Structure 1
């Protein structure tokens, strides 16, 4: 990729993250291109569809969360690692408003470009959960799929204006119910 094309690509991703954080996954592509200082044709040259843009943006974020689970597991006791990761995963879902639906569809569709990333994210959470369960600090009647669903539910709550002021409290409640440890808000 040429240097200017790479610069445009990186700029588009950075601006897309900002705009999607503000407006959700249905944000205006025209707005993203304008704020990045490029034409709409340039955006479409790099990302032919909205899904292509979201996939590129989310791939990196999901990979970062997966890597974060490994770091937390190595550096913290199991209950702390799980609590921090749960809180960060929920924050990710909340930052990218509307991503819960996108991730659920990706999990159900093996042909989705995000399918493997979402499966790997769910596995990363399951590893942290099993470790905490083995240490006797997390409920044993849930599994990685339940944890993933709880993250999605907590993120969805944060997306709803009527619940926005309660979101942190409810994430904390879920963390205590699952792990027995409050989040570090």
Structure 2
């Protein structure tokens, strides 16, 4: 059985691209719970077209964020070369925290799907968990990170911090929360 997707016709490709552009705008303005009907309408297509390309909200969110997920995975691989394992882990988590805080509602959605194997976001979340696992283990092996910390806990905590950062005043809300958490993760 052929598992490769057929290339989209030109008109279907335009619809797909317009839907993604409108989704990015809607998510930026109203968060990941933005109206799918409005996204389809603003893209100039019917809701059926949106669902043909993206059968669920999570599938649309995953596609919108796929490039960012790939960048985070690449960053984890690059940071494994750092001579300072804990600083590398902190840098990766800070980058993911900023990504998670991009769209209102995204941290909650990401935390929800960490254990939901049926979600289109599950594979992306676990690819990131695999990436951060190597950074976590490296920092533990260097004696810089508490031995009882897991990558899964850090991801859940990070999503919670990204959500909470929305409620602190100023642009440094998330950075301040991350600093507090990192201080508690270090081996004294």
TM category (shorter chain) comes to 0.7 to 0.9
Question: Equivalents in 2 of 1:114, 1:6: separation in Å?
Answer: 22
Is 1:39–2:45 an aligned residue pair? yes
Is 1:168–2:175 an aligned residue pair? yes
TM superposition shift of 1:88:
0.7
Whether the 8 Å contact between 2:58 and 2:120 is mirrored in structure 1 is no
1:183 maps to none
Question: Equivalents in 2 of 1:146, 1:48: separation in Å?
Answer: 30
Is 1:141–2:169 an aligned residue pair? no
Three-state SS of the structure 1 residue aligned to 2:15 is helix
Is 1:117–2:124 an aligned residue pair? yes
State how many pairs are aligned.
177
Is 1:98–2:91 an aligned residue pair? no
> Structure 2 length normalisation: TM-score?
0.79
Q: Which string of whole-angstrom CA distances, capped at 9 and with x for unpartnered residues, describes residues 9-53 of structure 1?
A: 233223322321331111122443355x42234434422432331
Whether the 8 Å contact between 1:86 and 1:175 is mirrored in structure 2 is no
Three-state SS of the structure 1 residue aligned to 2:81 is helix
Is 1:73–2:80 an aligned residue pair? yes
> Structure 1 length normalisation: TM-score?
0.80
Question: Equivalents in 2 of 1:83, 1:92: separation in Å?
Answer: 14
Do the aligned partners of residues 145 and 45 (structure 1) sit closer, same or farther apart at CA in structure 2, a change above 3 Å counting?
Answer: closer
- Out of 156, 163, 175, the residue aligned to residue 163 of structure 2 is 156
Q: Which string of whole-angstrom CA distances, capped at 9 and with x for unpartnered residues, describes residues 43-96 of structure 1?
A: 344224323312322344333322221122235632232121110111111113
1:58 maps to 65
User: RMSD between aligned alpha carbons?
Assistant: 2.4
Question: Equivalents in 1 of 2:186, 2:98: separation in Å?
Answer: 18
User: Structure 2 stretches of 5 or more lacking a match?
Assistant: 1-7
2:133 maps to 126
Do the aligned partners of residues 172 and 18 (structure 1) sit closer, same or farther apart at CA in structure 2, a change above 3 Å counting?
Answer: farther
User: Structure 1 stretches of 5 or more lacking a match?
Assistant: 181-185
